[in-house]
Structure formats: structure tokens, C-alpha cells
A and B are shown apart, each in its own frame.
Chain A
Amino acid sequence: MAVTIIIPTALRQFAGGLSEIEVEAQTAGEALERLTTEHAELRRHLYTDENRLRNFVNVYVNDEDIRHSGGAGTPLKDGDSVMIVPSIAGGAATEDEVKAVELPSLSNDEIARYSRHLIMPEVGMEGQRRLKAASVLMIGTGGLGAPAGMYLAAAGVGRLGILDFDVVDESNLQRQIIHGTKDVGRPKIESARDRLHDINPHVQLDTYEERLTSENALRLFKEYDIVVDGTDNFPTRYLVNDACVLTGRPNVYGSIFRFEGQASVFWAERGACYRCLYPEPPPPGLVPSCAEGGVLGVLPGIVGAIQASETIKLILGAEGSLVNRLLLFDAWRMRFRELKLRKDPACPVCGEHATIKELIDYEEFCGLRPPAQGVQSEERKLEEITAARLKERLDRGDDLQVIDVREPNEYEIARLPGTKLIPLGQVTSRMSEIDPARETVVHCKGGVRSARAIAALTEAGFTGKLVNLKGGIAAWSDEVDPSVPKY
């Protein structure tokens, strides 16, 4: 019997573009068999691998569903029309199902690039697609951000946000390996972007040349799945923590000082936050920054790589993350230790009766700025002198004694002429070495420690006149004598 099979529009490209095809057949099943023999590509669209008609495929003979007229055995007459029609059903999903289908696919280039991931069942195609679907915001592209960003880009995280307001300085290069010598003087986000793009052009890079503030943090964090904290100061660290708690984002934390590092994952939904561990910041000045205390260049490489590893594990849904664990690392003794953390039910930001519902002034919280309506303090005003003015006075032969409160190893790097070294820690016990009858200029590297030395001396009852060298030896190098190296 000669019958006409009507091909649905959606399948015509597999049937030579034809809308109707004539075949000779006795039954409906035979007609389809002929059709799919002639146009083999059609077959997989109509039949399963087990050679059964797909459940959504309906076959009509002259407007009658063959299910009601004998199935594949439905007899055909000359001139019958056989039509292939799908039934279509759909519906909304639960949240979990949505996640499962939204993962992006990988191109062949990407498959080749990530092969060492793909062959591990813990990652596999699914995990790599999760990485591609993920977005991570990195606060800072310094010592910690450099390795963390480079490994996250290399691993194929789909979208990386990088936030930094700083400019690359010579003194960064000892540890911030995302920046190179040619980048000195460039904005860090520009040099970081170039490096990350070079590592993996598949990654979308969003750059923010700004400070993280209480005004922009929530908006930024909401645009990302995970936040990596690569900051070097307490106000920003508390800000990152609180903004992560308020937006429900995991905070992959790392910090470094001299030879020691810490890492953890603060995720209030699953465990402790940074405030559960440290409810209050240390008094200002108690914990020196890396600029003051120094840091082994490779240390942030290790800690930042741990942050990258934890971030990747969060994306893959791996067990054994640093949630509720504080990892302590000592590079000098080469030792890892671990502290158990517990969520504090009384935590002001993630506890049961949280009092912090929005971001606050973190400079003030950390004691770095007096409260807006604070008492006009009676604290003695610090007397200061600029490097240029000090040079003038020394040249003029004024009777000044200059005390250097830095450490001996710093003194070895660079020093001012005719100074006496009394490290900050000894300044009160060696007070008798300073003549109160003469005017005294106190200096350090940048002016912070010397101000503290003056406060300590005054507190201890020193009666002589004390003047702080503004900007320290660094300012001397800039303003007076460039041959004094900056460090």
C-alpha cells in the first residue's frame, strides 16, 4: 500500500527537509520501519535505545491514534496518511531540581583543559560544571588573593570578582605573585585581571576598583556564591564577616603574620562565624600589620592556596571543609594545628538573638576612629615634624636627639644619621637613656610605632619634649634623601 507519512516540522531536518514522505507498507509499524531505514537519523528521535517507540511519540492514521486501533499492527490502506505527533507535558520544579538542570555545559576546549579534574570521580563532569556555574568574590588581590585567585581561575570557576583599590608597590612583589615587576605603579585589579585572564580566558572577571565599605558590601556579596577574605586589617575582616552572615554567603577566611597563618570557613548557616571566634577586635595597635611586623613571602602562598582549595570544595559540595575548624599553620616550625570552633548562641551577628541586623561603622568598632559624638578627648595632642623640616633643623645645628624605635634588623636596612636605636618594646625601660633636657624627635618606619612610643614615654612620666617624625624614615627617603632605601 502506498501511504503518506507526515513529518512534524521539528523533525524535517532529519528527513531531507521533506514534510511528507511516501512509503509502501502494510501496517503502521512497517511504515515507520521503512521511514527510519530510509532516514536513519530520524530513528533516535522516535525510538529508544531498546527499540521501543518513545513514550511521547504518538502515531495517528487518518486522525486515529494507533493505540486505539491495534498499535504497530494497525493495517494501512492505499492513500492513508500517517502522522507522527508528540504529546508534551511539563511542570514547575522543586529548588533542587532547578539547580541540577541549570549547570552550563563544557566546550571541548574546556574538557581538554580540565582533564585532570574530570578524571577524578570527586570532580568529574558534574563537578567541573558546578565550578563553571559558580561565582566567587575575592576581597583583595594581595598576598592571599594572589594565589587564591590564580588557582580559582585555573580551576575553572566561572565568574571571579576581584576587589582592590591599591596600586602595585615594589614591596608587594616578595609575596603577591599575581603582580610582576612590570606592574609596579599599576592598579592591582588591572594587573591581577591580566594575569588571571592569561591563566584562564574562560573565566569571566569582574573588577571593582574600590574599597569594601558598609555601603557597597551587601550589594556586592549578593552577586556571588562565595566570598574569599584576603584582607589585612580588622575593620574589613569584621565587615566581610558580617556582610557574609547577613547575605548567607560562606566566608573563606585566611590571615597571615610573620611565619604564622590561619584559615577557616565561616558560614553562619552551617557553623561558627568570625565573631563567634573573636567577638571583639584587639585594641588598636596591639596586633601589628604585616607592613609593621613583616611576613614570610611564601606564607600567604600556602594559606591562600588553602583558601582556594576550601572554596573549590564548597562548590563541589565536598565533605571535610574547614567549617567549624580553625587551622593554624606555623611555617617556621612547619607545623599544622587545628582548633574546634563552635557557634556562639550569644553571637551578636549570627546568634539566636542577633543584635546586628545591618552593617555598622567598622573603623569605629575597631577603635580606629573616635565615636562621632565622642568626648573631645583630653589626650595630649601629638606634636609632629615633617622630614623636610627635621632636615632643616638638623642642618641649622639645632640641639635635637633622634630616637629610632624600630627593630635592630630594620636599623640594618636603613637608618637616619646620628640616631639612637631603642626598639619600641624597650622604650620605657631604657627611658633613662633619653635626655629630658633636650628636645627629642622619635621615628620609626612610617610614624605609627613612634607615636605609640611617645604615648608610652609620656605615660611613664617622661618630662622632656617629644616630637614625632611624620611618615617615619619612609618620608625621609621621599622628601630628603632618596639614597635611604625604602622597605
Chain B
Amino acid sequence: MIKAGTMLLEDIKRHAEREYPRECCGLLIGRIEDEGLTRVVFETYPVANSWEEGDTRHRRMLIRPQDYMDAERHFSKRGLGVVGNYHSHPDHPAVPSEFDLKNLAPWATMSYVVVSVMKGRAVELRSWELKADRSRFNEEEISKGS
């Protein structure tokens, strides 16, 4: 399960709309609780889409390890770290793709938030977690409490 306040989820949607028709991406900063079962998000950390292969940033995104490292370092002082990531699917559903499964997904302990942006409007936000055997994503509950 992922816990994230409504404001944070709105921030992600706005980011996705700003980047449309390109994909946006970012990291979710927080703490992992309940022995790994719950990811509590305190901040979002938008990063630049570093995908450079041709002009396919409308359907591909890349978060550089450098950005990931910066985020981990920066938030470690507050006892927080990277607990997930988000990216948008311009004019596609908020469901991870086969490409996401092969490339997006480092670890099963993270949350993978996908925002669907249709014609410039963020219409849906869903969160997914990777199955331990890395075979697929399962949707996870988004708790908007606090």
C-alpha cells in the first residue's frame, strides 16, 4: 500500500500535465513502514526526463541514477529516502507497460505511480507494485489519509 496526501497526488498530476505531450517523471520520497508493506510519501521529487534516444520523450522516460543518488542523499538527513517513482503515460491508460516491466522496475519494495494524461488532462492516477518474481505489476491501494 502507498500512503500519500491528496496535495502530493495533485502535484504529480500537475507535473504530468505541464510536461504533456512528453512523459514526466519523478521520485517519491518517504519512509517504508509496516515491515515493508506500506510506503508513506512525504514529498515528490520531480526530475528531468533524461531519455535521449531520438525524440521519443512522448512515450519514454528515464530517471538518471545521479538524480536518484541526489535525492537519497538530500533526504537522508530527515530520515527519508526514495520509496517509489512516478511517470506519466500521455494518451495512454495509467497501467504499466511491458516496457515498464522490463525497465522501470528496480525493486518490488517500491511504488510505481502512473498517471494517464489524455489530451493534456491528467485523468487517472494509479499505483502499482512489482511482484516479487518480477513477472508483473499488481495494482496497490492508494491511501489518501492525512
Contacts and interface: CB of A to CB of B under 8 A. Distances in A.
B69 interface: yes
Contacts of A102: 95
A87 B92 contact: no
Nearest to B117: A92
A9 B82 contact: yes
Interface stretch (A53-61, A222-230, A369-377): A53-61
Contact of A56 (B81, B83, B106): B106
Interface string A1-42: 000001011111110000100000000000000000000000
A86 B107 contact: yes
Nearest to A65: B65
Nearest to A63: B69
Query: From DSSP, what is the main secondary structure of chain A's interface residues?
Result: mixed
A432 to B, nearest CB: 75
B143 interface: no
Query: From DSSP, what is the main secondary structure of chain B's interface residues?
Result: mixed
Contacts of A63: 69
Identify which of A6, A8, A12, A56 gathers the most chain B CB atoms within 10 Å of its CB: A8
B32 A12 contact: yes
A159 B59 CA distance: 33
Interface residues of B, number: 51
Interface string B56-95: 1001111111001100100010001111110101111101
A23 B105 CA distance: 28
Given A19-B76, A92-B89, A93-B92, A57 B106 contact: yes
For the side of the interface on A, what is the size category? Answer: 35 or more
Identify which of A19, A88, A90, A101 gathers the most chain B CB atoms within 10 Å of its CB: A90
A10 B109 contact: yes
Contact of B107 (A19, A45, A91): A45
Identify which of B59, B85, B106, B114 gathers the most chain A CB atoms within 10 Å of its CB: B106
Given A9-B82, A101-B137, A90 B107 contact: no
B55 interface: no
Contacts of B131: 105
B65 A85 contact: yes
